[in-house]
Amino acid sequence: MENREKTVIIKHLVKRFGDFTAVNDISFDVHKGEIFGFLGANGAGKTTAIRILCGLSKPTSGEGTVAGYNIRNQQEAIKKHIGYMSQKFSLYPDLKVWENIELFGGIYGLSDKQIAEKTTKMLKALSMEDARDMFVRDMPLGWKQKLAFSISMVHDPQIVFLDEPTGGVDPVTRRNFWKMIYQAASNGVTVFVTTHYMDEAEYCDRVSIMVDGVVEALGSPSQLKERYSANTMDEVFTKIAGRSIREE
């Protein structure tokens, strides 16, 4: 394990807002190609931590790198080298499929030639060649989601952050999406994912569970289930997050 390449290294990360400590000294590493589940109750500090990892917020103290860039002073480089997708927002519905690809490709600094190549390759991989000129608003949710995931990796990032990517999605589409996550991870992309579906926690290589600003548990699903004498990750989560004392 120790010799594996690390995409995220976080040491003693702290973030305070006034006298409130949102993230209270968390440390962890995420390996290349790993599917890392970042769980916690609402208000546990997940969003604050993710914002720091994505270069959107500076830590009060602590050190770390994401995709090889320092979280304290290389935030712009981090933003360029990571992918990000959430269920709430990812694509522009009033733009066509190819326009969305071009827009995000352009934002990430790809050349026209690279964008053209990417578009062809992406649509072929998604079997969406015929949907090239479709408005995103007219696409079924499952297609949108697959497209959004592919576009979040248009610039070949080492790591992609997925913030509740499957919220509200039907059971079949949700599972198809996880196949894509596995595909990306097997190609070496590190996947950092949050979810409120505890069955999805089982699909992660390792899971961290935050409670009241600290990482209360970290390990593979089978390790955590054994440690907390639980049959499912739902039980593990209830045992750990149910102990929260912070009123959100």
Return the residues of window 114-143 that contact other proteins according to CB under 8 A.
141
Among 4, 11, 196, 227, binds other proteins (CB under 8 A): 196
169 touches other proteins by CB under 8 A: yes
Contacts 24+ apart (CB under 8 A), 230-239: 232/198, 232/199, 232/202, 233/198, 233/199, 233/201, 233/202, 233/207, 234/198, 234/199, 236/209, 237/39, 237/198, 237/201, 237/209
d(CA 118, CA 112): 10
- Decide whether 1 or 172 has the Cβ nearer to other proteins: 172
Under the criterion CB under 8 A, does residue 164 sit at the interface with other proteins? yes
Using rule CB under 8 A, residue 198 touches other proteins: yes
Rounded-to-integer distance, Cα 73 and Cα 240, Å:
34
Does position 168 bind other proteins by CB under 8 A? yes
Among 25, 63, 205, 234, binds other proteins (CB under 8 A): 234
CB of 151 to other proteins, least distance (A): 19
Q: Does 244 bind other proteins (CB under 8 A)?
A: yes
The reply to whether 221 sits near other proteins by the rule CB under 8 A is yes
CA neighbours closer than 13 Å in the CB half-sphere of residue 228: 23
Report how far residue 36's alpha carbon sits from residue 195's, in angstroms, rounded to the nearest whole number.
11
Coil, strand or helix: which one is 96? strand
In the list 120, 199, 205, 218, the residue contacting other proteins (rule: CB under 8 A) is: 199
DSSP for 98-119? HHHHHHHHHHTT--HHHHHHHH
N-terminal to C-terminal alpha carbon distance within the chain: 35
Chain positions 36 to 65 lying near other proteins, rule: CB under 8 A, are 40-43
> Quick check: 202 binds other proteins (CB under 8 A)?
yes
Quick one: DSSP state of residue 137? G
Give least dist CB 129 to other proteins, A. Answer: 23
Provide, rounded to whole angstroms, the least separation between the CB of residue 89 and other proteins.
13
Please tell me the distance from the alpha carbon of residue 215 to that of residue 152, in angstroms, as a whole number: 27
The residue (of 31 and 246) whose beta carbon lies closer to other proteins is 246
Q: How many residues bind other proteins (CB under 8 A)?
A: 36
Q: Which residues sit at the interface with other proteins, rule CB under 8 A?
A: 40-43, 141, 164, 167-173, 175, 178-179, 182, 196-199, 201-203, 221-222, 232-234, 237-238, 241-242, 244, 247-248
